Amino acid sequence: MKKILSLSLLLAFSADAAKWTVKPAANPKAPGEGLAIAKGGKPIAHFVFGKGQKKPFLHVYGTKGELLTNPGVGPDGKDTGQYPHHRGIYIGWRVLAGGGSYDLWHIHKGEIMRVKKISSAKATDDGVIIVADIEWRTGKVGKEDVLLLSETRTLSISQNAAGRTQVDFHTALTAARDLTLGGDLQHAGCHFRAHAEVAAKGTKFTSYLWEPKGKTVGNGKVLSKDWKWNRLQFKLGNNWYSATQFNAPNQPVEELSWRNYGRFGFFFKKKMAKGDTQKLNYRFHIAPSEQPALESFPPQVSKNQETRWRAAAQKAYDQFAR
């Protein structure tokens, strides 16, 4: 009887430890509301939006429960850190419409991305799926608040046994009027931004790998119409992590944007007629990583590490592409 009881308790504990939850919760230590995603009570991610936030984004946590992504603002609601408009995993463009230009990237002149509705927020045995209806609006820019784009964003969050968090970022952008997704690669697209502490440490602690090689045409700018993935290696506290973005085949892409302070993403420009819908699919892997093998300053990735990390990223891309 005792053995059966012990086994029952063990099974119950194991099930609870693996249980995924998604619950309404305030944005920790900064303005905004949102949805907290946890596994076995441990924070995994937080979809942030609402009052005090200019755009919705996804925070991601590390294996020690530390915040890996950039909050952008402090508890007082004031901007903090380098380039505070970069927050978590996010998307934005400079939108040209009706003779006007609306910066839905910096969002510093009154523009706004507003979550209109959370259509669905569901925890499954394998993770959490969130579907949000989002409006991209001119806000206070111009004579009236005009809708530019309607977005349906689907975030699927899961994690494997090694602690690698996977975020599938699916979005459908529908033009409310004739417009152009414009700007430039450093100020548009779907991006990941590491915590401001990464930039504060100094840029010598980050490194990148990407595929294909592309054509480097300036600092942080690489051209290709066949981008597969880009991998950032960074240090936060005493721990090393990697963040990899995978670009789905057969969707618009022109350039890879990267900065050594820990922000990167893929970019393209696109003209859209009223009613057109642009669908985009990206996958992110955020995972603990071994530290660079060569103990120099700055630390250097060994050839063996680069070979293994490239092979792992390519394998993960092939799985995503299928």
C-alpha to C-alpha distance for 186 and 184, rounded to whole angstroms = 6
C-alpha to C-alpha distance for 243 and 88, rounded to whole angstroms = 11
Q: Phi-psi bin for 281: left (phi > 0), alpha (psi -120 to 50), beta?
A: beta
pLDDT of residue 35: 98
Residue span of the structural domain in which 135 resides: 90-321
Whether 40 is covered by a domain: the verdict is no
Summarize pLDDT for 260-318 with one digit per residue, the tens. Answer: 999 999 999 999 999 999 999 999 999 999 999 987 777 889 999 999 999 999 999 99
Whether 210 is covered by a domain: the verdict is yes
Summarize pLDDT for 97-125 with one digit per residue, the tens. Answer: 999 999 999 999 999 999 999 999 999 99
Q: In the chain, how many domains are there?
A: 1
Please name the helix (run of DSSP H) or strand (run of DSSP E) that holds residue 319, with its range, or none. Answer: helix 303-321
Whether 13 is covered by a domain: the verdict is no
Is 79 strand, coil or helix? strand
Whether 27 is covered by a domain: the verdict is no
Q: If pLDDT is split at 50, 70 and 90, which confidence band does 1 have?
A: very low
DSSP of 44-65:
EEEEEESTT-SS-EEEEB-TTS
Residue 314 backbone dihedrals phi, psi, to 5 degrees: -65, -40
Is 313 strand, coil or helix? helix
Average pLDDT over residues 158-185: 96
Name the burial class of residue 41, with classes exposed (0-12), middle (13-18) and buried (19+) by CB atoms within 10 angstroms of its CB.
exposed
pTM here is 0.93
Summarize pLDDT for 125-151 with one digit per residue, the tens. Answer: 999 999 999 999 999 998 899 999 999
Residue 281 backbone dihedrals phi, psi, to 5 degrees: -130, 125
Whether 33 is covered by a domain: the verdict is no
Query: Six-digit token pair at 32?
Result: 């905004």
pLDDT of residue 17: 58
Output the CA–CA distances (angstroms, integers) from residue 262 to 133, 147, 162, 241, in the order listed: 28, 32, 23, 11
Lookup result for tokens 């959490």: 128
- With a cut of 50, say whether residue 12 has pLDDT above it: no
C-alpha to C-alpha distance for 54 and 76, rounded to whole angstroms = 15
